[in-house]
Each structure stands twice: as C-alpha cells, then as structure tokens.
Amino acid sequence: MEKTIKRIAVFTSGGDAPGMNAAVRAVVRTATYYDLHIYGILRGYSGMIEGELKRLETKNVGNIIHRGGTMLKTARSKRFMTKEGRKLAYESLLAHDIDACIAIGGNGTFTGASIFSKEHNIPFIGIPGTIDNDLFGTDYTIGFDTAVNTAVEAVDKIRDTADSHNRLFFVEVMGRHAGHIALSTGIGSGASGILIPETDTSIDDLVLMLKKSSKRKKLFSLVIVAEGNQNGGAMEIAEKVKNKFDHYDTKVAIIGHLQRGGSPTAKDRVLASQLGFHAVEGLQAGKKNVMVGIVNNQIKYTPFKKAISSQKDMNQVYLKMAEILAL
C-alpha cells in the first residue's frame, strides 16, 4: 500500500526563474489547506544533503508572489550526482519524516529527482521552473514570459539608439540549447533576423537577409541571437558580418542575466500558482515521479523521463511568421 503523505518538502534548484516564489507560495498554502506539514529545503539538493530544512507556514510565504528570485535560494550540487551524496540527502529527509518532495526547476533538477526517487522510493512531483521553456509536457514554463518581456523591453530601448545612429545591432538573449526566448523576443520586437539553435541559418543566409533590408533603405537593423545558436554568440557573429555592411555602425548588446531577474509577469504568477496548487493535489491523488504542466489549458502530468528526454518542438507557425514579418 502507498504510504499516506503527511509531510512534504519543497525546493528550488538550478537556474532561478521569475515566478518561483509564486510557486512556493502556492505549494505551501495548498499543503496547509490539506493539513499537511510543509518544509522548505534551502539551496536545492545542496541543502537537502546538508539537512537545511525549515518548517513553512502560510505567514512565511506572504508578500512574495511579486518577487523575483527564490526565497528558498538555489544551487547546483555536484555531490548530489554521486550515490553517496544522494544517500546523505535521503538521511536528511528521513530525519524530518518527509514523505514526498516537490522540486521546482528544469532538466537537471528533474534528472536528479528521477534517480533519487528510484533509489530511495520517495515520491517526487516536478514543477517546471526555467526561463528556457524547453521542457516537454507543458506549453510554458515558469519564468519564460517574464524573460521574454524583459528582453523585449531591452530591445525596444536598443531600437531607439539603433534608429538614431543608423546601426546594425546584434542582441544576444539566453538560450544555450533552445531558441524559444529568442524567437518570441524577435517577433515581439520586430527584429530583422533571429538566430536560434533549432534552425540552420548560416552567416550567408543572414547577410542575404540584411542586404534585402538595406535595399529597402532601412535605416537600422536588429538581429536577435540565442546564445547557443550554431554560428556562435553575438560578438562572434557581428565580427563575421560587419565588414559586409560599411554603411552600418555595427554594435552588440548582451542582455544576459537581466532575463532571470525582476518581478514576474501576471502570466507567470498565475501559471506558477496553478502548477504549485496541482503539484500538491497530484501528490494527494497518488501521482509520483512526474512533472505537472499545462497543455492546451489542461493540467497534465508527464513522467520525468519523458519530460526530460522528449524534444519540445519549436512553433513552426512562429518560425514562418518571423521570417515573413522581417521582410
């Protein structure tokens, strides 16, 4: 028989994402509603190994829904990648009589949760918290909408100076393995070109595209570059193309970790609240070793293995639309 869940631990792990606090708040308040004891683990798997757990109550998560970052802090743990480290983490959970865990994070977080759960038979439910939006089993991940809005706001400011000085700007956004942020930022900011890991846009293709813009007497151009695209980062790409456009003053802007910070958008707050609520509901219903997500406005629980290993395809309509609108 399945063990009755009375004590749940929640933690955030890996890269931080705006909306993580909203998810923690939803988990704590939903667990409290069901008369469950809820504990927060500080600093992710590192804190689990060190036994850094603290009891959380409704009052502890007041006034955090609008805050970026994570009140529980986060970290990446090499020790947890070892069997010995996971055994220490298990002993910490046992010391606090933890029956189940809710992990808020991305691929690395869920990989660790899947291995740990199989070794020590503790149910886990994952909440997708990553700005990259690269997890299969949910239309959007917590933090993605805020990251895109931050990037678009920055590009809008860059557009002003590009227009004033007849400039060609290469703007680099986050996305080492996925181009979702770059694609949405490019469409939202009216970029002339978008370079992402999922497409094979060459430097020659980019040059041809920019030449078309130049023939239209376009006074400036913006190119959005995902950091992990095949041609290199924005600095490298700018060096490759600037000599072909002497009439442009070529510049580079790297938005970087600005995308991880700031107050989460309303969309991210609502998404985080939904997923936090349904994570607790899922544990109550006997779900385990799954990620909770929303697909076509419906709650969906996807096994960790599938959420991690399955490819989340780019929106083909968005790709076509971005190409047409850049003409």
CA 147 to mean position of chain CA atoms:
8
d(CA 295, CA 273): 16
CATH classification code of 7-143+264-309: 3.40.50.450
d(CA 11, CA 18): 15
What Cα–Cα distance (Å) separates residue 84 from each residue in 4, 49, 224, 227, 287? 27, 10, 44, 35, 27
Q: Within 10 A of 202 (CB to CB), how many other CB atoms are there?
A: 12
Kindly report the backbone phi and psi dihedral angles of residue 193, in degrees, each rounded to the nearest multiple of 5, phi listed first.
-160, 155
Task: Give the pLDDT confidence score for residue 19 in this predicted structure.
Answer: 97
Task: Give the pLDDT confidence score for residue 209 in this predicted structure.
Answer: 78
Mean pLDDT, the chain cut into blocks of 10 residues (327 residues total): 84 94 98 96 96 96 95 91 95 96 96 94 96 95 96 89 75 90 93 87 80 63 88 86 73 88 96 98 95 97 94 87 81
In the chain, domain spans: 7-143+264-309, 144-261
pTM of the model: 0.92
Task: Give the pLDDT confidence score for residue 231 in this predicted structure.
Answer: 84
d(CA 103, CA 112): 10
Task: Give the pLDDT confidence score for residue 274 in this predicted structure.
Answer: 98
Dihedral sign for Cα atoms in the order 15, 149, 30, 32: positive
Q: Within 10 A of 251 (CB to CB), how many other CB atoms are there?
A: 17
Task: Give the pLDDT confidence score for residue 65 in this predicted structure.
Answer: 97
Task: Give the pLDDT confidence score for residue 68 in this predicted structure.
Answer: 93
Task: Give the pLDDT confidence score for residue 160 in this predicted structure.
Answer: 80
Question: Is the CB of residue 227 less than 8 Å from the CB of residue 174?
Answer: yes
Instruction: List CB contacts of 204: < 8 A, sequence separation 6 or more.
Output: none
Nearest of 288, 233, 316 to residue 114 by alpha carbon: 288
Active site (annotated) includes residue 132: yes
State the catalytic residue, choosing from 16, 99, 132, 268.
Answer: 132
DSSP helix/strand/coil, 42: coil
**CATH architecture classification, 144-261:** 3-Layer(aba) Sandwich (3.40)
Task: Give the pLDDT confidence score for residue 146 in this predicted structure.
Answer: 97
Residue showing tokens 């590192």: 46
Beta bridge partners of 167: 249
Radius of gyration of the chain (CA): 22
Strands (E), 219-315: 221-226, 249-254, 290-295, 298-303
Task: Give the pLDDT confidence score for residue 1 in this predicted structure.
Answer: 46
Nearest of 312, 308, 321, 315 to residue 107 by alpha carbon: 308
